Amino acid sequence: MSKRIIFEVENFSVTYSQNSYKNRNVRDVFVNFISAPLSFLKKERDRYLVLDDISFKVYEGDVVGILGVNGVGKTSLCRYLAGIINSDEIKFNGNNICSVFDTNISIYPDLTGRENAQVLIELLFTKCTSAERAEILKEALEFSEIGDFADTPVNTYSKGMKARLYLSVVTSQKADLVILDEVFGGTDVFFTEKFKNRIKRFIKDSGAVVMVSHDVETIKEYCNRTIVLANKKVKFDGALAPGIAKYLSMETKIEVESKNLQ
Amino acid sequence: MKEKIRLILVLAYFHMRSRYRKTWAGFIWVIASPILTFIVQALIFKSILKITIQDYPFFLLTGLMPWFFISQSFNSITSCLVNSRDMLLGVKIHPILIVGTQVIDQFFNFLVAFAVILVALFLSHSLDLSAAKILLILPSVLILFLFVFSSVSLLAFWHAFYRDIQFIVQFLMNLTFFITPIFYSGDLIAPKYQWIISINPFTPFVKIFQNSLYNYNLNEWLINFSKALVIVLIVFILTSLSYLKKQKEFYINV
């Protein structure tokens, strides 16, 4: 019996236009045009390639750890997977996606934690009824343990408190696809333990999970599959142990290269 | 669609709650600025510069309030997508929703300030507000809203690519105020300079208010309304094309 495909990435690339780095504002455009009109008018075709033509499938029950050095395109890829940026090359086969990128998010800093949680619930769970939303809010506030701080403005919160509130809301409903980009850290040890249990239950209830972390231990703890990204390509896709080994050997290689440069 | 509209209204509600600090006093603070601008300009142009336009405060009101809505929105909303970077990159939310909530906020301010001054003038001047005038003012308000929404969406989108657009917009809006017939009427301008007013894209949006409320003139209103409609369509097409073609680049630059 074949497992349900949660999403499919086919010949997916991410490119940056170099033009937008040269011209960050209208003044740059003006200055570049006046100082060198000919080369300005010549259409820039240089594009910086981040991910080059990658393809993979994720099945139900997969907990995929994405590994790779900084700037390799892990977070960009996850933003596309989460549907924050649309792409025709990614086919998602399910109803809802839960994604966590920055845990330090506050939508309206002047409003209270409770109100921010309400806004977040409106944004994330558009299909819920108002009774369900109220239930989610109550449960999330309870889980976050921020207590009376729920009714004080978010701009008085510490990073950890913001993370507590945000993570509690985001992980309150099960999803077909869960994307977790560096979610651990920032919160204190007590909440992290509690949150880890919640994530484990969440993962069990969910269709598939994609996780990004630089902490190999975290990947080991949660994932059953790894994808290693390097040099714009998928360098490895498969079981946990060989993936981690591949990633670690890669990192040392970079260290050696930089030592040679010195 | 229904979900989207619900979401935009909920977000607008929270946005306004945040801006007005949850109090009526906060709201009065926000609408004080168009009302004060109106009072000062009415005094200066009427008493000091001796502009001879009949019912000058009423004339000024019909031009100044839509202009205030346009310029306030352009100046304050152009940077909203860049300012909401964390939200755009962290949660799945269409940029148009963020722009929309802020336009609704400005629109609400405009309606209230407009109504407040209108009622004040009505009580003190015994102006006639016929049904025909009110019938023209409703589509005028609607097209003005669509114009501001689509142009601000376009500006906020491109501001992510070119970060000085906000300042250029502010600078140009200050200049444009003087070449738009707001505190003077178009026929005060010498014929050889009339073209400046007629190529100014803001003119029809001010004129439709003058043609409906101040000097009721259905023919002129229809001409200006058609111009306004064409401008809105052009801006709408430009905005849609930008969002469709440059979506990926937008998220990289924002």
- Domain range spanning residue A114? 60-261
Closest to B252 in 3D by CA, of B76, B79, B82, B80: B82
Q: Per-residue pLDDT averaged across B202-225, rounded? A: 94
pLDDT of res. B148:
98
- Cβ proximity of B97 and B4 under 8 Å: yes
Q: How many CB atoms are closer than 10 A to CB A62?
A: 19
Owner of token pair 């609704």 = B104
Residue A213 in any domain: the answer is yes
Q: What is the ipTM of this complex?
A: 0.84
Handedness of CA B72, B74, B75, B77 (dihedral sign): positive
pLDDT of res. A259:
47
Residue type, B245: K
Residue A146 in any domain: the answer is yes
Cα gap A22→A48, rounded to integer Å: 13
Which stretches does DSSP call E strand in chain A?
Answer: 5-17, 47-59, 63-67, 90-92, 97-100, 177-181, 208-212, 225-230, 233-238
Q: Is B90 near chain A, with CB under 8 Å?
A: yes
pLDDT of res. A49:
86
Q: Per-residue pLDDT averaged across B109-132, rounded? A: 84
Give pLDDT tens digits for B144-196: 999 999 999 999 999 999 999 999 999 999 999 999 999 998 888 888 888 98
Q: Structural domain tally of chain A? A: 1
Give pLDDT tens digits for B75-98: 999 999 999 998 899 888 999 999
β-bridge pairing A225-230 and A233-238: antiparallel
Closest to A233 in 3D by CA, of A13, A6, A9: A13
Chain A contact probe: residue of B252, B253, B254 with most A CBs at under 10 A: B252
- Nearest residue of A to residue B161, measured between CA atoms: A24
Angstroms from A109 CA to nearest CA on chain B: 8
Give pLDDT tens digits for A161-173: 988 899 899 888 8
Q: Which residues of A touch B90 (CB under 8 A)?
A: 84, 101-102, 105
pTM of the model: 0.89
pLDDT of res. A261:
47
pLDDT of res. A252:
54
pLDDT of res. A262:
42
pLDDT of res. A44:
61
Distance of CA A199 to the CA centre of its chain: 15
The percentage of chain A sitting over the pLDDT mark of 70, rounded to a whole number, equals: 92
Of A102-111, A242-251, B124-133, B195-204, which range is least confident? B124-133
Verify whether the Cβ–Cβ distance A84 to B91 is below 8 Å: yes
Instruction: For chain B, report the end-to-end CA distance as a whole number of angstroms.
Output: 26
What's A112's domain CATH number? Answer: 3.40.50.300
Residue type, B101: T
Of A79, A111, A122, the CB nearest to B89: A79
Residue A10 in any domain: the answer is no
**Banded pLDDT at A234 (limits 50, 70, 90):** very high
Cα gap B140→B221, rounded to integer Å: 9
pLDDT of res. A188:
84
**Banded pLDDT at A43 (limits 50, 70, 90):** low
Sequence-distant (6+) residues with CB within 8 A of A41 are none
Assigned token pair, B56:
């000058």
Q: Per-residue pLDDT averaged across A121-143, rounded? A: 91
Of B11, B88, B92, the CB nearest to A119: B11
State how far the alpha carbon of A87 is from the alpha carbons of A126, B81, B90, B247, in Å. 21, 21, 17, 10
Cα gap B115→B141, rounded to integer Å: 12
Give pLDDT tens digits for B24-62: 887 888 889 889 999 998 888 888 777 788 888 889 999
Of B91, B247, B253, the CB nearest to A123: B91
Assigned token pair, B238:
């430009």
Angstroms from A103 CA to nearest CA on chain B: 9
Q: Work out the mean pLDDT of chain B and round it to a whole number.
A: 91
The size of the A-B interface in CB pairs under 8 A is 78
pLDDT of res. B22:
67
Residue A40 in any domain: the answer is no
Q: Is B165 near chain A, with CB under 8 Å?
A: yes
Residue A247 in any domain: the answer is yes
- Cβ proximity of A233 and A55 under 8 Å: no
Residue A139 in any domain: the answer is yes
Q: Work out the mean pLDDT of chain A and round it to a whole number.
A: 86
Residue A246 in any domain: the answer is yes
Is the pLDDT score of A105 beyond 60?
Answer: yes
